[in-house]
Structure 1
Amino acid sequence: MKSEFYDKKKRAHIYRSIYTYKIVTLCVILALNFILAGFFFKNVDLYYIYSDSLTPYYTIVGLRLTIFIASIIIDIYILKRTASLEKRLSALAFLDKLTGLPNRYSCDLLIQGYNDSPKLQNLGFILMQLNNLKDINSGSGHKDGNNLIAEFSSILEDVGNDYGYIGRNGGNEFIVLLEDCDNTKIDMFLMDLTKRIHGYNELYVGAPMEVSYSKVLNSLEHMDKITDVLSLGYRRIHEIPQILS
């Protein structure tokens, strides 16, 4: 998986780029056809010299342009349908339906990319959970719980896009992977996220967000396997969870 996939803005840009490229290509081909038609009109006498056809030359040109324009319309229609289908397939395969974040399968593919990678040396890993999600699900219902997950995911992705890769690793688990990470970078991310969560809670929109987390800086731990980094993060959030406050 390329890193561009994990950024929502970059995913949208890729689709727009493909569509724009196709439109520009079709416009160029159309322009070339008009140029060729112009040359044909200027040298129409050659048509009658080398052709025994009784069909008027402008009928030939008009028919050709009609067929070409029809092919453009069909091409654009197919392109739009293909792009729409590709988005749906990508969403089904790699994106979490509720949040739009990379799902567990997508996270696994990303994590595998750090095996035997020099980026692992300075990788930062954060594991997050919503502390009050279980209480909200049992007290207010799963609809309110899902709303809280969706709101938190939106904030997390919006903040995290400037720092690294964000994913929902199933259920109430959210992961953040930061490359070239040190204490300053990871603290800046947590500070920005905390500000956004405080802003959300101050608006009294639905249930408040209560977030716990654990963090691992591999520049301090010096682990050789990404699975060891993740295991340490999971162990810390169960044994000594930290609270965003």
Structure 2
Amino acid sequence: MREYMTEKKFVKVFRIAKIIQLCVLLVLEVLFFIILFCNPTLSKELYSNSTLMFLCACTWILMLCILIFMLYDFFQLRLFAEESHALNRAAFLDNLTGIPNRHGLDVVFQTYDSPESLANVGCFMVTISNLKEINETLGHQAGDTLIQHFCSIFEEAGDSFGVVGRNGGNEYVLVINDCSDSRMEQFIKVLEGQLEEYNKDYIKAPISIQYAYVLNAEEHADAFTQLLTATYNKLHA
């Protein structure tokens, strides 16, 4: 993540430098022609002096080349930014579901770097309890589709509450700031409601879940890893 921020800073600084160069070049071009056309004597001397005319022509060609190369730099900068975004997306987002993977979640976890920042955080962990059954009866492709559908629902339900992610395998996490029992229960109600609607349309491959959550107002963990472990243990107890 730190490398990603460094790359973004580099792109921003490089783009600003190129914009300044472009502005300076355009200003020089405009000033050149203003001076030339506002000074008839200089203009007449320029056209009558082949050496001076040649030097000016070389200068114009050079400035035109600089402009072309600057435009090419802008094009390459755009490609670099797009490739950098794609690489970081691949690094921090789960390939199958598109939600943050464990690396992406680690970035979120690292923001809770003190007991004070964790004071009112809630951690929700969920698994698809019938995933193994779907894999065995309908195949792994059907299982992957089930995971994708669930994560789409999970993200939609959890987006307004906090940060969702795939913790790895068949474990999915939601982190909520300023969380209480009522807020967590509100999220669970939304999630279960959307799953109920989904299962009406997918009777042969419904989604069943098992979940648990821990509020740090009750757990009093000093690090997010402790809160995550407590949630994991509660889920698999």
Q: Is the TM-score greater than 0.5? A: yes
Question: Which is further off, 112-121 or 210-219?
Answer: 112-121
Structure 1 residues without counterparts, runs of 5 or longer? 6-14, 240-245
In percent, how many aligned pairs have the same letter? 31
Counterpart for residue 39 of structure 1: 31
Matched residues in 2 for 1:66 and 1:128: separation? 61
1:213 CA drift (Å)? 0.6
1:25 CA drift (Å)? 7.5
Counterpart for residue 87 of structure 1: 85
Query: Which one-letter code corresponds to 1:54 in the other structure?
Result: M
Structure-2 change in CA distance of 1:118 and 1:75 (3 Å): same
Counterpart for residue 39 of structure 2: none
Structure-2 change in CA distance of 1:34 and 1:76 (3 Å): closer
Matched residues in 1 for 2:30 and 2:75: separation? 28
CA-based RMSD of the aligned residues comes to 3.3
Counterpart for residue 223 of structure 2: 225
Structure-2 change in CA distance of 1:200 and 1:29 (3 Å): farther
Question: In 1, are the aligned partners of 2:115 and 2:222 still within 8 Å (CA)?
Answer: no
Matched residues in 1 for 2:176 and 2:138: separation? 35
Question: In 2, are the aligned partners of 1:163 and 1:178 still within 8 Å (CA)?
Answer: yes
Query: Which one-letter code corresponds to 2:176 in the other structure?
Result: L
Question: In 1, are the aligned partners of 2:99 and 2:165 still within 8 Å (CA)?
Answer: yes
1:58 CA drift (Å)? 5.7
Matched residues in 1 for 2:147 and 2:234: separation? 22
Question: In 1, are the aligned partners of 2:115 and 2:223 still within 8 Å (CA)?
Answer: no
**Structure of higher CA gyration radius:** 2
1:192 CA drift (Å)? 2.2
Query: Which one-letter code corresponds to 1:215 in the other structure?
Result: Y
Q: Deviations over 1:135-193 (max 9, x none)?
A: 01111111010111111112222332222111111110001111111123212222222
Query: Which one-letter code corresponds to 1:74 in the other structure?
Result: Y
Counterpart for residue 121 of structure 2: 123
1:33 CA drift (Å)? 3.3
Secondary structure at 1:66's aligned position in 2? helix
Query: Which one-letter code corresponds to 2:28 in the other structure?
Result: L
Matched residues in 2 for 1:52 and 1:205: separation? 86
Matched residues in 1 for 2:158 and 2:178: separation? 14
Structure 1 residues 175-214: aligned runs within 5 Å: 175-204=173-202, 207-214=205-212
Structure 2 residues without counterparts, runs of 5 or longer? 37-41
Matched residues in 2 for 1:100 and 1:83: separation? 20
Question: In 2, are the aligned partners of 1:119 and 1:180 still within 8 Å (CA)?
Answer: no
Counterpart for residue 73 of structure 2: 75
Matched residues in 1 for 2:147 and 2:201: separation? 17
